Structure 1
């Protein structure tokens, strides 16, 4: 598909699908840089203690007999191994958190599956000539240049200190050189993180570019997952028809139908013995629906009262199956009271 035709941002479904397959925007450089910096800073802080612990072992080992070697091993486990284990745990946590910070939790084995297209030489050539490969070449060249220039500036500044350390006792000279080395790695790690952050921004931009969709793909996905608009329209129409049918069946239970006179009709029920706290709307409609409500009301002997303004207001503000709003209580109560009075008068003759 030509790149120019992919003008639409990826839909949430496409993003979720790609994520499930392990396709996310990530920078391995950022993970490596963070690991390097964290471990280097940790060694810079605890390096002297670790160094002197190892030094004491080297000085002590030649003087011990074979029977005393377990003591030396116990000393190593107690004094040195905690530093090594701490650095290993810290390195592992750094890698995990660096990945989580970029794309969250994603667990899938799909990227490990064998795919024949990976053996396609044409696709391999395309990858070699792609924008990503050119960016990688430029990035790595620039990174090496910046890091080498930084090393040059650092050595130029610290050269006299390195020369002076040669005159110090050996164990102090080694410690001094180690400190300078770790300091250099901290500077390099910081620069690497800055460059890796730029790499992450590029990765995210490139990821968004690659997952763009055509207008036709968006339409097809909408039809597939949201439903064909024509089908959905037909379903909604059928549901409205069913709802109207159920509504008309409720009209015989009404206490009164208020009309305007044939354009609007609202059927109300008020039955205190049945639990009604206020009149309830059983049905409402305009045009043909209103005519059906009125015809059913006549068929079952439901009183029909013409109140034009009230009928329009009830139709607008009252919902089917709910009580009428309080502002209509008085007007509706007068109508129902009159209907009940008429019924009692007719009953007593």
Structure 2
């Protein structure tokens, strides 16, 4: 892991997606020194807060333990029962303190990294059993810093403890001459003073270790430009593949539209830019429907297909632009264009009847009733 993430090109901070994946894998910021400080501080707080009760319990427990009779000293079973009874009473003191210490230790661990629930760190990884692949992890920068920090912490705590014991050696020696209640009280005060000294040293280490662990966690998760691009491709999709898919979809749509043109009733064109093919079946449709539309080269293809299939092609620039801008393929035309399209369809039907010899040839296509606001060219002119 260290060798993998220490590359010179990994100089970009981790993205939110990578941070989330790392959290799901159980990789979060944790500070052992902060947990140790919290655990010892919680234990000290419990001792101080319940000191009178604890001293009273210890006094009664020691007094009972030192009370012997002939039966207890000659019958092993009685001695075992007494030991079990005293051990149970002692557990009532130790278990609540241990629970409080453990709870604070867990809370201290989550303080900088937050809560996460993952079984992935517990899954066996046989690759870690390979000593060859494990050597880089053993001599990584992280392991070196952790080992150096642990040694320094042990040295500091040892020095603090040794100096405190040296300065209070006479106090501990004088406890023997005191009555039991006074001896317990004296030992409690002395131990509390040493505990405060150790807590001060642990607090200094925790204040340094917590930011350091944040820094090391961010360093391990750094990404290169290539990693960021690869993640973007995974999230958004490969741009080249998406472009090819769009081209393929446009080609399929183009073929489908051209295949529908021979079945259209007419094609309305703006001579060179727009073409819209319309179909109307009064038995099945409530209004004319657009079966194909296109601009520029696609418009020319629609026109050529329509002429080859003998579908009427009418030059109606304003209507062609309005249909192209506001009508969707395989959808009915907008209601505002019903009148104009009805005029065109009536003209086409008259033309077909004339070609079949059933009626005289119609004149020029009448002026179409196309609302000005539906003409995109008219909007452009008004905007200018």
TM above 0.5: yes
Structure 1 residues 95 and 292: CA distance shift in structure 2, 3 A: farther
- Corresponding position: 1:7 with 2:16: no
SS class of match (1:206): helix
Q: Tell me which moved more, 236-245 or 187-196.
A: 187-196
Q: Which residue of 2 aligns with 1:27?
A: 31
TM-score where L is the length of structure 1: 0.67
Task: Return the alpha-carbon distance in structure 2 between the equivalents of residues 179 and 190 of structure 1.
Answer: 17
Report how far residue 287 of structure 1 moved: 1.4
Q: Which runs of 5+ in 2 are unaligned?
A: 73-77, 360-384
In 2, the alpha carbon distance for the partners of 1:282 and 1:322 equals 8
For 1:163 and 1:281, the matched residues in 2 are separated by 104
Instruction: Kindly provide the CA deviation profile for residues 72-117 of structure 1, in whole angstroms up to 9, marking residues without a partner as x.
Output: 856864x653443333334444444444552622322356731323
Larger C-alpha radius of gyration, 1 or 2? Answer: 2
- SS of the aligned residue for 2:293 comes to strand
Q: Partners in 2 of 1:271 and 1:245 — Cα distance? A: 23
| Residues 312, 348 of structure 2: 8 Å contact kept | no
Contact 1:280 1:322 in 2 (8 A): yes
Match of 2:206 in 1: 196
Quote the residue 2:64 is aligned against: 60
Name the structure 2 match of 1:333: 338
TM-score (norm 2): 0.62
Q: Check whether the contact 2:290–2:327 (CA below 8 A) recurs between aligned residues.
A: yes
Query: Which residue matches 1:262?
Result: 272
User: How many aligned residue pairs are there?
Assistant: 336
After superposition, the CA RMSD in angstroms is 5.1
User: d(CA) in 2 for partners of 1:244 and 1:172?
Assistant: 99
Name the CA shift for 1:289/1:24 in 2 (closer, same or farther; >3 Å): same
Could you list the per-position Cα deviations for residues 234-253 of structure 1 after superposition, in whole angstroms to 9, with x for gaps in the alignment?
33322321232234344456
In 1, Cα distance between equivalents of 2:300 and 2:52: 95
In structure 1, the partner of 2:131 is 116
* Paired residue secondary structure (2:129): coil
2:302: which partner in 1? 293
Structure 1's unaligned 5+ residue stretches are: none
- What residue is the counterpart of 2:218 in the other structure? 208
Q: Which residue of 2 aligns with 1:246?
A: 256
Distance 1:311 1:339, change over 3 A: closer
For the 8 Å contact 2:278–2:289, the answer to whether it is kept is yes
